[in-house]
Amino acid sequence: MSGRLSIIIPVLNEQAVIVETLQVLQALRELGHEVIVVDGGSSDKTHSLAAPLVDRILRADRGRARQMIVGAQFAHHDILLFLHADTRLPAEADVLIFEGLEKTGRKWGRFDVRLSGQAWLLRVVERFMNWRSCLTGIATGDQAIFMQRSLYQQVAGFPDIPLMEDIALSRRLRLNLTLTKRTVIF
C-alpha cells in the first residue's frame, strides 16, 4: 500500500510546542504528505507560527473533536492521521503506517506511547498505557490515531463531544471492525 497522509493537528494556544512539532513534519511534507492545523481560537501566536509550516491552517470552534472534524473535511489524502500538538511521530511514520496497514489488512491503527523524560516510572506508565490499548482496542489521541478515510466516514468520524472523543472514536472503530470481522489495531 502506498499513498499520502493527511496529518490533522488540533491546536489551542500551542505556541510553546507548535514550531518544534511542525518542523519535524517538514520531511513528510516534502514527500507529498499534507499537514493541516486546525486552530480552536488561540489567543497566543500559534496561528502565525504555524502558518508557514503547514499546507493549510483552518479555524474552527474550540474543542478537539470539532477541530479534527473540520480538519478531516478539508483533508485531501486517503489516510487521516490525527496528531496532538505535543506528540512526536516516530521516524519514518509514513512507512510504518502504510506497511502496517498493508501487512495486517487493517484499516486503522495507532502508535505506542513513549513519554519524554528519563524517570523509570515513565517507562512503567508507558507499558501500562500500551498494554491497555492492545488489550482493549482503545486508543487515545496521544497515540497518533490513523485510519483510512473511508473507514472514518463509515463510522461517522469523531463524535462532537467535549472530552474523550478519541476513546469514543476507538469504540466506534472497534465495533465497526468487529462487525466486519477485522481486527483493530497494531
- The whole-number pLDDT of residue 1 equals 52
Q: Residue 162's closest CA among 46, 67, 44? A: 67
- The whole-number pLDDT of residue 186 equals 39
- The whole-number pLDDT of residue 2 equals 66
| 158-175 residue pLDDT tens | 999 999 999 999 999 988
- Output 67-70 pairs: Cβ under 8 A, ≥24 positions apart: 67/10, 67/11, 67/38, 67/39, 67/40, 68/8, 68/10, 68/38, 68/157, 68/158, 68/165, 69/157, 69/158, 69/160, 70/38
Percent of the chain predicted with pLDDT > 90:
80
| 96-144 residue pLDDT tens | 999 999 999 999 999 998 888 999 998 999 899 889 888 888 898 889 9
- The whole-number pLDDT of residue 8 equals 98
| 63-105 residue pLDDT tens | 999 999 999 999 999 999 999 999 999 989 999 999 999 999 9
Average pLDDT, stretch 10-39?
97
Q: Is the pLDDT of residue 148 over 80?
A: yes
- The whole-number pLDDT of residue 126 equals 84
Written out in words, the top-level CATH class of the domain with range 5-179 is: alpha beta
CA–CA dist 83, 79 (Å, integer): 13
Axis crossing angle, helix 165-179 with helix 64-74, rounded to the nearest 10: 60
All structural domains of the chain with their residue ranges:
5-179
| 47-63 residue pLDDT tens | 999 999 999 999 999 99
User: Model pTM greater than 0.95?
Assistant: no
- The whole-number pLDDT of residue 175 equals 81
